[in-house]
Structures are given as C-alpha cells and as structure tokens.
Amino acid sequence: MQKTAKAPPALKAPDEGVMDQQMSLNSETELEKSICLKCDATLYEPIGSMRVPCPACGELSRKFFREANEKVFFRDVMEMKGKHGGKGRPFFEAKTGDNFYFKEEKWNHLEQIVDRDNDLYIKIITDPETGEVIRNERKPLSEHQGHGSAKVNGN
C-alpha cells in the first residue's frame, strides 16, 4: 500500500531560483513522498509523472518507502506425556492450548487429561471469545471408549 498525500496549496522549492515547480498542480493531484538520494531533501511528486530534478541539488535518484501492514496471530498448544522408566504406553497425557474445531471452523481452548494410572479422563473445551464452556467431560477412562485410538475400524 503506498502512502499518498493531496497537493499542498503552494509547492515551492527550497531555493525558488533553482526550479519554479514546473507543474501546475490542482488540489486533487496525488503526491508520493520520496527522499533525494544525494541531499536527503524530502520531496512530494505526482504519482506516475516524469521525474523532475531535485529542486535543491538537481539529482534524479530517489528513495521511496512502501509500507505493508498485516496482523499475524500465533496459536499454541502444550502437550505432556509421562512414562514409567521411559518405556511402554504413557501413564499420563495432558494437552492444553488452542484447538481448531473443523465442524464449526473456529478456534477453541482445549484442556485434556488422560491419566491411565488413576483411570481418569478430563476434557474441557471453551470458547475463548465468550468464555462459554462448550464441553466439560470428566469420567473414568475405562468408560471413554470408541474415541481416538479406541475407535472401531469400519473395514
């Protein structure tokens, strides 16, 4: 996106003897800000017109500045697993953070615990915008069947 400005009422060169601002500009002419490469003078020139020499030093080279603005959002999730002696299936798994719900196409906050040693399953999903609890599940892990790796294969 380029920055533009309306023509000021009178555009005069720093030294009026160098250049009398050869163009007549009306108040609707869009100007682009640039900097002379030789003397660092700030210049405002009509967009798309032939470049004229810098009124201060006569240089034609310019520095132009472009600005782009965009918002970037980061989402994160933390997962933990605990194993006895580092072997076998984890006795404890926990997950907390952002989770995308594809059915509704929106981000939610997820807290999930699978504690095999204590036969415990907890899953809490909340809407981060409203704070509404979408799902609050707490039950023995042995009753949590048919989900994840325990799904029955349809083949």
**CB pairs under 8 A, 24+ apart, for 3-10?**
3/32, 3/33, 3/65, 3/67, 4/30, 4/31, 4/32, 4/47, 5/30, 5/31, 5/33, 5/44, 6/30, 6/31, 7/31, 7/44, 7/46, 8/44
What is the domain range of residue 19? 1-69
41 and 82 fall within a common domain = no
36 and 88 fall within a common domain = no
pLDDT at 10: 38
81 and 65 fall within a common domain = no
pTM for the whole thing?
A: 0.53
> Using an 8 Å Cβ cutoff, are 22 and 46 in contact?
no
Residue 130 lies in a domain: yes
53 and 92 fall within a common domain = no
Pairwise CA distance, residues 21 & 111, whole Å: 67
115 and 96 fall within a common domain = yes
Give residues with Cβ within 8 angstroms of 13, minimum separation 6: 19, 20, 21, 55, 56
Domain boundary among 20, 53, 69: 69
The per-residue pLDDT for range 57-71, each reduced to its tens digit, is 999 999 988 888 999
Q: How confident is the model at residue 122 (pLDDT cuts 50, 70, 90)?
A: very high
83 and 101 fall within a common domain = yes
